Amino acid sequence: MKRFYVSINVSTLFLLLTALISVGICENINETIDNLFNNCLNNVCDMIQCPPVTECPNGEIINSASLCGCCPLCVSYIEKGELCGQGPTAAASLCKPGLSCNKDTKRCDEQNGPCVEERNHRLSLLENKDYNFTESLWLPECDSNGNFKKKQCKGSKCLCFDENGNRIFGLAERALAENMTCECSREMWKRKNDEGLEWMTSPHEHCDSMGNYDELQCKDEICYCADPITGDPMGEATHIAGFHLLSCYNEETHGKTYLRQCEKQLYRAQSLTYQFHNKGIRILGLVNIACGLDGTFDLKQCQPDRCSCTNKFGASIKSYTKEKSSGITNKMICACARDQNDIETNHARYPLLDCTDLGNFKEYQCFGDECFCVDRDGVQISQTEQLVPEVVGNCIKMDKCLYESSEC
């Protein structure tokens, strides 16, 4: 086959198309453009020679802004109050930093939303000389609606978050988190909340430990190999009984049955609860099993009378157990206990930090006589100092200030 190499000035082409839309020359221009963008041939980029783009002083270099995403373009920021979101590419919503494209007014406007609020709270703490927060204080990354981005990296870890800034399933060491997306984690978290009692009354998709889609998925009775980014089925599918026949099956990671140890227990309990609920009967005293979205046991497991921090196989870790009657089991996060356990058993590279008897990170941490304050994920938030009695009090004050804004 003969190949034609054409050199297109992509930005000119883009401007031309944009102009065509605004003039309305062609009735179906929107469709035409969508087609151009959606139906790009696999090898179309091979046929385009891109002009080099190196500088972009008042904007951003965006790949998807050019036709078929082949070439990088310098796209200028849209100013406050100007139109945005008009067109099929990311460039159309490129508001100046600190602004976002308002969906209703279709204009760039100041952001607000839970993430922007949290970010501003933290920025003001950094400026407040009465406290000793340092630059290592984590600032959340916000999406264009002012909500938390799915993946947030702080200290030596990356974690998955919901839109409102609550930590959800999914964790990786920062150095290994390059391909972490939290897409699966976010999606399954939403579904879990939507489904309520119906959750886990049949097998559902698995995330991996960093919140991406597992390569092998089963939904109800059907199993398939999936794209790890989108979770979409690719090619083959099979009945759940033959899930080990799929090409993406790996005995070491997927085990002998699709449902993992924690999920099997959860499935039994949920199915019972759901069946009886449909008959108007509430079952009392069922053990409340908490599974991660990869099917392993959650950080904390509660029996009717007590809660414990557990490892991913559901075994209690050391002494991190509290009776419900103590009234403080709802304060157990267990993130520190799990980190300690991971370091001991999996040689994870998190710094070894001290835990409280609730399995949470202590507000202050010392290595020798060098001490500093940490947040509730174990990330350093103050300078390193000699241990003096005030350090402990200061760290507790900073913790309150960070998490209970009223105390600040």
Applying CB under 6 A, the residues found at the interface with ligand NAG are 27, 29-30, 86, 130-132, 176, 178-179, 385, 390, 394, 397
Shortest approach of ligand NAG to residue 313 CB, angstroms? 25
Beta carbon nearer to ligand NAG, 130 or 404? 130
Beta carbon nearer to ligand NAG, 132 or 296? 132
Shortest approach of ligand NAG to residue 23 CB, angstroms? 11
Shortest approach of ligand NAG to residue 29 CB, angstroms? 6
∠228-232-236 over CA atoms, to 5°?
100
Q: Residue number with the shortest CB distance to ligand NAG?
A: 394
Task: Give the separation between CA 126 and CA 292, rounded to whole angstroms.
Answer: 34
Which of 92, 104, 15, 10 minimizes the C-alpha distance to 49?
10
Beta carbon nearer to ligand NAG, 245 or 388? 388
Beta carbon nearer to ligand NAG, 15 or 176? 176
Task: Give the separation between CA 255 and CA 46, rounded to whole angstroms.
Answer: 42
Shortest approach of ligand NAG to residue 111 CB, angstroms? 22
Q: Are 396 and 362 in contact (CB under 8 A)?
A: no
- Give pairs for 192-200: CB < 8 Å, separation 24+: 197/270, 197/273, 197/274, 197/277, 198/274, 199/270, 200/263, 200/266, 200/267, 200/270, 200/291
Q: Are 199 and 161 in contact (CB under 8 A)?
A: no
Shortest approach of ligand NAG to residue 106 CB, angstroms? 9
Beta carbon nearer to ligand NAG, 151 or 322? 151
Beta carbon nearer to ligand NAG, 298 or 375? 375
DSSP 80-112: TTSB---SSSGGGG-BPTTEEE-TTT-BEEE--
Can you read off the two tokens belonging to residue 73?
A: 């373009």
CB proximity list for 291: less than 8 A, separation 6 or greater: 200, 260, 262, 263, 266, 297, 298
Shortest approach of ligand NAG to residue 339 CB, angstroms? 20
Task: Give the separation between CA 397 and CA 380, rounded to whole angstroms.
Answer: 15
As a residue count, the chain comes to 408
Q: Among all chains, which residue has been given the structure tokens 């609860």?
A: 273
Beta carbon nearer to ligand NAG, 166 or 179? 179
Shortest approach of ligand NAG to residue 78 CB, angstroms? 15
Shortest approach of ligand NAG to residue 385 CB, angstroms? 6
φ, ψ at 20 (rounded to 5°): -60, -40
Beta carbon nearer to ligand NAG, 244 or 400? 400
Hey, which bits of 125-273 come out as E strands? Answer: 151-154, 157-161, 167-173, 216-219, 222-226, 233-239
